[in-house]
Amino acid sequence: MKLGFLTACLPGRTLEELVEWAADQGYAALEVAAWPALGDRPFTATHVDVVGFGAADAERVRALFDKHGLTLSSLAYYDNNLHPDPAERQAVNAHVTACIDAAALLGVPTVGTFVGRDPGRSVAENLRMAGEVFAPLVERAGERGVKIVIENCVMEGWHPDGYPGNLAYSPELWEWMFDLGLYLNYDPSHLVWMGIDPVEALRPYVDRVAHAQAKDIEVFPERRNRYGWPGRAVVREDPWDVGWWRYRVPGLGQVDWRRLVDTLYEGGFDGVLSVEHEDPVWGGTEARVETGLQVAHRTLSPLLVA
């Protein structure tokens, strides 16, 4: 198993700067952000522009990673593949396709995205639509030797009332995804606030985890007593501020990383564990983000067998 991080936490850095810094800090891999270049949402970045990506681009990126002894573990484009606007949905699907093609040129094994959701439709209706949307994507990925991995993020901010906006939040939905030919980019933090044991939930499905993310979470039960599970309802200016939990870098939250890494090893996982830095305490400036990544490295690196 190798330790990496998702580059979206440092959107202002070039890929060259990120690779050099990661290698200097002892990281062995990068999960590279590949959102469209004109995007402006938080926790997104364009460190590989997959639009018009060709063989020469792939050679340049491969040479960069080889020079510093790093692995490019996945291309990351997490967006709503079931967007309620048909034009926007088609654009998202098309960008996933471009990521698949770029990953194939690079020899990268996975492309990460979300299932998503149309919040105006029932779960059952969304699942039927997802079967249609993902069939050609899975087929294209398979033809090119790439796996599509879905992060089990709840994406509560995509739903007007804070309910799940990404239909991949539970083992029940993972099994449905696997039937479509999708794989899991496993992140334990999202399960904790939903009341699911992240270790026991993972144990039966390690063989379908093609990539893993390391994000921690800090939960405040006394605040949940006020807001309930969906979070703030009366005043919620930020759709992502539920009011009773927050993400942290590994080691500063409640995930038992020793048990979790051991479960991955026991199940045969030998891929990349990628730190996803969304910690508000160690955010806000590049220097603080770097410190957060260093904290995560100190927490996780002793648990990984070189």
How confident is the model over 274-304, as pLDDT tens digits? 999 999 999 999 999 999 999 999 999 999 9
Model confidence at 146, pLDDT cuts 50, 70, 90, reads very high
Q: State the residue range of the domain holding 187.
A: 2-303
Strand-strand pairing, 29-33 and 2-6? parallel
Q: Domain count of the chain?
A: 1
* 130 vs 42: which has the higher pLDDT: 130
| pLDDT the model gives residue 130 | 98
- Contact of 5 with 273, CB cutoff 8 Å: no
287-292 LR contacts (CB < 8 Å, sep 24+): 289/9, 289/10, 290/10, 290/21, 292/9, 292/249
Whole-model pTM? Answer: 0.97
Q: Residue 105 and residue 107: Cα distance in Å, rounded? A: 6
Sign of CA dihedral 47, 100, 184, 230: positive
Rounded CA separation 12/33 (Å): 12
3-state secondary structure of 142: helix
pLDDT, tens only, 113-132: 999 999 999 999 999 999 99
Q: Domain of 205: which CATH number? A: 3.20.20.150
| Percentage of the chain modeled with pLDDT above 90 | 96
CA dist 131 and 77 (Å) reads 19
Measured CA to CA, the distance from residue 60 to residue 246 in angstroms comes to 38
- Which of 6-10, 130-134, 227-231 comes out lowest in average pLDDT? 227-231
Structure tokens at 163: 């309910």
**Contact predicate 73/4, CB 8 Å:** yes
Helix (H, G, I), strand (E, B) or coil at 71: strand
Half-sphere exposure of 254 (CA within 13 A, CB side): 17
Six-digit token string for 48: 């590989």
